[in-house]
Amino acid sequence: MADSTPQGQETLSNLLHESRSFPPPADLAAEANVKADAYEKADEDRLAFWEEQARLLQWEQPWDTVLDWNPPFAKWFVGGKLNASVNCLDRHVDAGLGDRTAINWEGEPGDSRSITYAELKDQVSQAANAITSLGVTKGDRVAIYMPMIPETVVAMLACARIGAVHMVIFGGFSSDAVGQRLDDSQAKLVITADGGYRRGKPSSLKPAIDEAVADRPTVENVLVVRRTGQEIEWNERDVWWHDVVDPASTEHTPEAHDAEDPLYIMYTSGTTAKPKGILHTTGGYLTQVNYTYSAVFDVKPETDVYWCAADIGWVTGHSYIVYGPLANAATIVMYEGTPDTPHKGRFWEIIEKYKVTIAYMAPTAIRTFMRWGEEIPAKFDLSSLRIIGSVGEPINPEAYIWYRENIGGGNTPVVDTWWQTETGAIMISPLPGVTSGKPGAAMRGVPGVVADVVNDEGKSISPGEGGGFLVIREPWPAMLRGIWGDEQRYKETYWSQFPGLYFAGDGAKKDEDGDLWLLGRVDDVMLVSGHNISTTEVESALVSHPKVAEAAVVGATDKVTGQAIVGFVILRGGEESVPDELLQELRNHVGGSLGPIAKPARLLAVPELPKTRSGKIMRRLLRDIAENRDVGDTSTLTDSTIMDVIAKQLPQKSS
């Protein structure tokens, strides 16, 4: 996330009108884990509500104070002690659920493993013993740089078990990015693998670690899982996982940790500045991920099979592959590879194979699947699905409807979940058994979360009044406890724009019913002839035209209008330019749905859009192109060559 400040202009214009809505299926509503009364209960006494949710966990010592709020510093469940790994494993095994499958793992080449709760507990205990024998103790930082394999989950839970702070680094990051994070966190141990399978072949991980640790003596050991068997260099500090974890004892007596003991650090992508090490602690975090996982996905752990397609290197993977699902004793699916290996139906094949009932993925993936065509998912039996979720970006109505129809069979609720690395857990989302979902809306704060939209003076916007800045009014249990090593930056980034309110950096609008629609990052907002226009709304309008598969728009400096809207579109037929007729048609289409002010001035056809590795469009780079500037730092892109490809499509720079 980029650091962002509201611009002190009039608040966002509210242009998009979407009136479809889908009530929950009657049987789902009748059996839902969370019903409408949860909102009332939480409103009546928010702290008592969160205490009730905390009691769903196993505490070794109860808390004395539910919340100690010294703005902007919160402590939750003060005095309480618990162990996150025990909550995800031991208590389920103790309750007789040891034989339940915890992880159905699918490797990209088609190999698979199924691991029960009892087996996972044993493996985590072995890993806890092994990393202890390597000298890791409570409070130490452990970097994890791994492919999507079960050992990654084992490593995280082993850290949690002994109170070491894990710091998972996305496997796609370069050795420089790894090094920066090792310096900032002063990690003592790195856990990695020789490599993992991606796009049909082994891709390496170990060389990036070798490079990053070479001149970093604070790293005492590198623990290496053998996944691919590829050739790797072997250094003095290196230890094979199978040499120390496999022979270790499966007996490990966990210690109870303070509710406020650090659980992990997760670096946010930081598209502009130095990445921020977002700190999460134990009790409040686990309380909210445990609750929201049950409430938003309505999971029935005895029968559901849940699959989150995110990478564990992102917060989504932490909260909704590992901690939320396992705390609920759910059965998860975990997939190592890419969606188009060996064919473009891989995701749907996985859903069919494991009879997945709940699936969670990003809008960027959904739009890619739209582009590949609905005949691909149509070849698979997806009838097991009963809830499908979306996260990471605004889901435009067109993608929502496509997802609901083609993946959800037309009767499966879509939960559009808004949250951030910083919030730790889902904050705004429909509840599948309560809410009539609107395509494109994340709806409202989950019970216990007070989300609001304010104008540039920090005043709450009335329903139907329009757009503004998304804020959170009250502290919540899973909130970040700060930025690792940088208190000042924590205060400035999130708490300085509106006194007493957490400012998320996103624009949003509140419709007539009081429901919330996310409008993208405020630093992406375009200012056209005095109107703040959201990129999300214009992109949604473009994508709702049958010829457009994906779109990104930016505001480019314009002498007349301040900024002019420039759109980059991927056309469904793969055309390399936008013919004049189509340009007119698309401009009119946008004008028809949003009004003439939102008509793009220019439209460029591109084969791909620049995206971060977590799937967010990097509009900053497109703005460089639209304003004929040299393109800035592209190191966080999935594919850095894409900017050259896009630049080639454009008329030559005129200066």
Are the C-beta atoms of 414 and 366 separated by less than 8 Å? no
Least distance to ligand WT7 from the beta carbon of 115, Å? 25
Question: Binder to ligand WT7 among 1, 434, 582, 626 (CB under 6 A)?
Answer: 1
Alpha carbons within 13 angstroms on the beta-carbon side of residue 305 total: 19
Least distance to ligand WT7 from the beta carbon of 400, Å? 11
Question: Binder to ligand WT7 among 304, 416, 452, 523 (CB under 6 A)?
Answer: 416
Question: Binder to ligand WT7 among 327, 442, 479, 606 (CB under 6 A)?
Answer: 442
Q: Which is nearer to ligand WT7, 335 or 517 (CB)?
A: 517
Least distance to ligand WT7 from the beta carbon of 362, Å? 8
Under rule CB under 6 A, residue 393 binds ligand WT7:
yes
Under rule CB under 6 A, residue 504 binds ligand WT7:
yes
d(CA 628, CA 631): 9
Q: Which is nearer to ligand WT7, 334 or 516 (CB)?
A: 516
Question: Binder to ligand WT7 among 238, 452, 506, 515 (CB under 6 A)?
Answer: 506
Least distance to ligand WT7 from the beta carbon of 394, Å? 4
Under rule CB under 6 A, residue 292 binds ligand WT7:
no
Residues that contact ligand WT7, how many (by CB under 6 A): 22
Q: Which is nearer to ligand WT7, 398 or 506 (CB)?
A: 506
Q: Give me the 147-176 binding string for ligand WT7, x by CB under 6 A, dash otherwise.
A: ------------------------------
Q: Which is nearer to ligand WT7, 502 or 568 (CB)?
A: 502
Stretch that binds ligand WT7, among 116-124, 472-480, 504-512, 593-601 (CB under 6 A): 504-512
Are the C-beta atoms of 195 and 204 separated by less than 8 Å? yes
Q: How many CB atoms lie within 10 A of CB 454?
A: 22
Stretch that binds ligand WT7, among 158-166, 328-336, 414-422, 559-567 (CB under 6 A): 414-422
Stretch that binds ligand WT7, among 130-138, 228-236, 501-509, 641-649 (CB under 6 A): 501-509
d(CA 216, CA 143): 13
Are the C-beta atoms of 293 and 320 separated by less than 8 Å? yes
What are the residues facing 428 on neighbouring strands?
418, 445
Stretch that binds ligand WT7, among 23-31, 249-257, 417-425, 540-548 (CB under 6 A): 417-425
Q: Which is nearer to ligand WT7, 238 or 511 (CB)?
A: 511
d(CA 561, CA 266): 40
Helix, strand, coil % in the chain, rounded to nearest 5: 30, 25, 45
Are the C-beta atoms of 145 and 208 separated by less than 8 Å? yes
Q: Give me the 227-266 binding string for ligand WT7, x by CB under 6 A, dash otherwise.
A: ----------------------------------------
Question: Binder to ligand WT7 among 505, 555, 600, 610 (CB under 6 A)?
Answer: 505
Name the pairing type of β-strands 548-558 and 562-571: antiparallel
Interface of this chain with ligand WT7, residues 556 to 575, rule: CB under 6 A: none
H or E segment at 395? none
d(CA 123, CA 85): 12
Question: Binder to ligand WT7 among 268, 288, 328, 636 (CB under 6 A)?
Answer: 268
Under rule CB under 6 A, residue 406 binds ligand WT7:
no
Under rule CB under 6 A, residue 420 binds ligand WT7:
yes
| DSSP state at residue 188 | S
Under rule CB under 6 A, residue 417 binds ligand WT7:
yes
Stretch that binds ligand WT7, among 53-61, 156-164, 391-399, 643-651 (CB under 6 A): 391-399
For helices 642-649 and 619-626, angle between their N-to-C axes, nearest 10 degrees: 30
Question: Binder to ligand WT7 among 88, 193, 248, 391 (CB under 6 A)?
Answer: 391
Least distance to ligand WT7 from the beta carbon of 75, Å? 23
Both tokens assigned to 463: 């329903």
Are the C-beta atoms of 109 and 169 separated by less than 8 Å? no
Stretch that binds ligand WT7, among 163-171, 347-355, 499-507, 635-643 (CB under 6 A): 499-507
Are the C-beta atoms of 510 and 465 separated by less than 8 Å? yes
Question: Binder to ligand WT7 among 316, 328, 331, 493 (CB under 6 A)?
Answer: 316
Under rule CB under 6 A, residue 419 binds ligand WT7:
yes
d(CA 294, CA 35): 12
Are the C-beta atoms of 351 and 383 separated by less than 8 Å? no
Under rule CB under 6 A, residue 521 binds ligand WT7:
yes
* Cα–Cα distances in angstroms (integers) from residue 548 to residues 71, 189, 247, 379, 574, in the given order: 46, 47, 56, 24, 10
Q: How many CB atoms lie within 10 A of CB 73?
A: 14
Least distance to ligand WT7 from the beta carbon of 519, Å? 8
Name the pairing type of β-strands 65-70 and 73-78: antiparallel
Least distance to ligand WT7 from the beta carbon of 495, Å? 16
Q: Which is nearer to ligand WT7, 361 or 518 (CB)?
A: 518
Find tokens 């990104």 and name the residue.
552
Candidates 220, 214, 192, 215; CA nearest to 204 is: 192
- Alpha carbon 509 to its chain's center: 21
Are the C-beta atoms of 619 and 552 separated by less than 8 Å? yes
d(CA 131, CA 136): 6
Question: What are the backbone angles phi and psi of residue 73, rounded to the nearest 5°?
Answer: -110, 125
Question: Binder to ligand WT7 among 67, 453, 518, 631 (CB under 6 A)?
Answer: 518
Interface of this chain with ligand WT7, residues 607 to 646, rule: CB under 6 A: 614
Q: Which is nearer to ligand WT7, 171 or 392 (CB)?
A: 392
H or E segment at 602? strand 602-605
Give the 3-state secondary structure of residue 145. Answer: strand
Residues at the interface with ligand WT7 (CB under 6 A)? 1, 268, 314-316, 391-394, 416-421, 442, 504-506, 518, 521, 614
